Structure 1
Amino acid sequence: MSKIEDGRKIIAELMGEEFLEKKLASRNEFNEAVQDYADEVCFGTVWARPGIDRKQRSILNIAMLVALGRPNQLRSHVLGAINNGCTKDELKEIILHCAVYAGLPAAIDGFRVAEEVLREKGMME
């Protein structure tokens, strides 16, 4: 199996088959290079490495994406974190921790995105 195929398998495990299908359906001649890069390097190489588990990687991703103000990517990775075993309380603490180091506006946006995902997953009223 190639690194790209490995990456797509990990994406499906993290975020679900539906997410992967939408991602592949959005593929075109303009974005195929960046999609292949993400599949191969991000997921097929880095996410596939030993050393830390997927839940730990998800925690890191959430913190970095909140700090960088990347709500679209954060949405996907909150879903992945839930699939990797992060609880609602852990997500709350991760994002609250970001308020101290990345700023309150970034954390507020992070809470908003995480709440949307939690509601969609039936984990919040």
Structure 2
Amino acid sequence: MNKELFDKGLKIRREVLGAETVDAVLKSADDFFMPFQEFVTQYCWGEIWGRPGLDRKTRSLLNLAMIATLNRSSELKLHIKGALNNGVTKEEMVEVFLQVAVYAGVPAGLESFRLAREVFAQEGV
């Protein structure tokens, strides 16, 4: 593991998803799951999210579209919250999820809207 990239990724991951959420996942990771958490933190968050080419809001919009298309509900809820933290508005999410509905299918779009409403209620948005 590259400690520098891990630490950079951990900082970004906490800022986007919330320290409480990230710390809870890491605390609950056992010997089996920790290598994956290290991988995700180092490469996804440190290497990719830490690149200068796109701002965090743009990365969040891309993630919403891709994760919604893949129909990964747990990850989508997490990234909806992260997108709100990165300045993505409800109106922008409407546009992303409509785009998903057209290109990835209405069920994926519908599930995205449903999950977003759950997160909005939880976050008081």
Query: Above 0.5 in TM-score?
Result: yes
Runs of at least 4 residues off by over 6 Å:
none
Identity %: 42
Q: What is the TM-score when the length of structure 2 is the normalising length? A: 0.95
Which of the numbers 66, 70, 73 marks the counterpart of 2:72?
A: 70
Mapped partners of 1:23, 1:8: distance in 2: 12
Match of 2:22 in 1: 20
Q: Please list the CA deviations of residues 41-74 of structure 1 after superposition, one character each: whole Å capped at 9, or x if unmatched.
A: 0001000001110000000000000100101110
Q: Please list the CA deviations of residues 82-103 of structure 1 after superposition, one character each: whole Å capped at 9, or x if unmatched.
A: 0000011111111111000000
Match of 2:54 in 1: 52
Consecutive unaligned residues in structure 1, runs of 5 or more: none
Mapped partners of 2:4, 2:74: distance in 1: 27
Match of 1:41 in 2: 43
TM-align CA RMSD: 0.9
Tell me which amino acid in the other structure corresponds to 1:35: Q
Match of 1:87 in 2: 89
Instruction: Give runs of aligned pairs for residues 85-124 of structure 1, distance below 5 A.
Output: 85-123=87-125
Match of 1:3 in 2: 5
Tell me which amino acid in the other structure corresponds to 1:19: T
Mapped partners of 2:94, 2:124: distance in 1: 16
Consecutive unaligned residues in structure 2, runs of 5 or more: none
